[in-house]
């Protein structure tokens, strides 16, 4: 086993490397905390958007009634045509 | 030297642990956001499906309603014509009655004083004799 000897300059550089590494560690923690904060804001906004879309979905859920209304209006038109034919027959008889 | 090695190892371990912790945290948040966004996409697809019915349906209703609105005047015109034709009219008398004042007959006290009261409601029968009644006690002949 060799005994690794270090002179004074190497020792100082190692210590400075440790200090710089500690600063980098703190900076990384700060930046990741900022990232977490921003992602939490995004999460809250996405929940708000989801709730708004749910309300919009509830509002547009009744549009399935529109084809039924169109069918009803067609029935009204057919009934009106029947009335037209009936009145035409009756009018011809009354005039004769 | 041993102290430096130990400190270096501790610093590296702390850095890796911090990175792992924050990455796990961010990963959890991003997974939740992904789930919410997936739900949003599903809701939007539903809204698009609902909105797709609006255009053709409203166009159909508008077209049919226009036809109905255009046909209704024809229908009630025919109905009015039928009603006009089948309504019975009062028959006109063969001999029209004479015109009488709408205010009625005027009462005369002079005639009443002598006991004469003309019955003008039966003027149409004036041609028949004895039309007017005379209740005169002094024996005036009826007119």
Q: Do A53 and B68 touch (CB under 8 A)?
A: no
Backbone Cα Rg of chain B = 54
pLDDT score of B30: 95
Total of domains in chain A: 1
Q: Which residue has the higher pLDDT, B7 or A93?
A: B7
The interface residues of chain B toward chain A in range 45-74, judged by CB-CB distance below 8 A, are 46-47, 50-51, 53-54, 57-58, 60-61, 64-65, 67-68, 71-72, 74
| ipTM computed for the complex | 0.73
Q: Which residue of B has its CA nearest to A21?
A: B11
* Neighbouring-strand partners of residue B116: B134
**Do B43 and A53 form a contact (C-beta atoms < 8 A)?**
yes
B20 in any annotated domain: yes
Domain that holds residue A15: 8-95
Residues of B within 8 A of A81 (CB-CB) are 71
Q: What angle do CA B79, B85, B91 make, to 5 degrees?
A: 145
Give chain B's domain count. Answer: 1
Tens digits of residue pLDDT in B50-83 = 999 999 999 999 999 999 989 888 888 888 888 8
Residue A3 lies in a domain: no
> Is B101 part of any domain?
no
Q: How many residues does chain A have?
A: 96
Which residue segment(s) compose the domain that B44 sits in?
A: 9-76
Return the structure tokens found at B56. 């053709």
Share of chain A above pLDDT 90, in %: 61
Mean pLDDT in consecutive groups of 10 residues from the start of chain B, 143 residues: 89 92 94 95 94 92 92 86 81 79 74 73 50 48 49
B30 in a domain, yes or no? yes
Q: B143 lies in a domain?
A: no
pLDDT digits over A41-58, tens only? 999 999 999 999 999 999
In a domain, B37, yes or no: yes
| Cβ-nearest to A50 among B15, B39, B57 | B39
Three state DSSP letters for chain B: CHHHHHHHHHHHHHHHHHHHHHHHHHHHHHHHHHHHHHHHHHHHHHHHHHHCCHHHHHHHHHHHHHHHHHHHHHHHHHHHHHHHHHCCCCCCCCCCCCCCCCCCCCCCHHHHHCCEECCHHHHHHCCCCCCCEECCCCCCCCC
Whether residue B82 lies inside any domain: the answer is: no
pLDDT at A1: 47
């Amino acid at each position: 086993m060799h005994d690794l000897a270090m002179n004074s300059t190497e020792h100082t550089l190692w210590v400075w490397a440790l200090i710089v590494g500690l600063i980098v560690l703190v900076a990384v923690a700060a930046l990741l905390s900022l990232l977490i904060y921003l992602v939490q804001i995004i999460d809250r906004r996405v929940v708000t958007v989801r709730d708004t879309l749910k309300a919009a979905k509830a509002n547009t859920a009744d549009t399935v009634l529109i084809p039924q209304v169109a069918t009803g209006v067609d029935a009204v038109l057919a009934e009106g045509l029947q009335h037209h034919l009936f009145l035409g027959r009756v009018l011809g008889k009354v005039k004769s | 030297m041993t102290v430096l090695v130990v400190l270096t190892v501790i610093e590296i371990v702390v850095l890796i642990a911090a990175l792992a912790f924050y990455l796990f945290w961010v990963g959890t948040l991003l997974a939740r956001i992904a789930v919410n966004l997936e739900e949003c996409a599903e809701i939007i697809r539903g809204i698009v499906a609902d909105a797709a019915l609006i255009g053709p349906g409203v166009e159909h209703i508008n077209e049919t309603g226009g036809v109905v609105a255009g046909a209704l005047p024809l229908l009630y015109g025919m109905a009015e014509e039928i009603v006009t034709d089948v309504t019975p009219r009062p028959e006109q008398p063969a001999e029209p009655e004479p015109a009488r004042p709408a205010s009625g007959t005027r009462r005369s006290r002079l005639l009443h004083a002598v006991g004469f009261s003309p019955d003008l409601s039966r003027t149409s029968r004036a041609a028949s004799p004895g039309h007017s009644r005379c209740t005169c006690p002094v024996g005036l002949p009826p007119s």
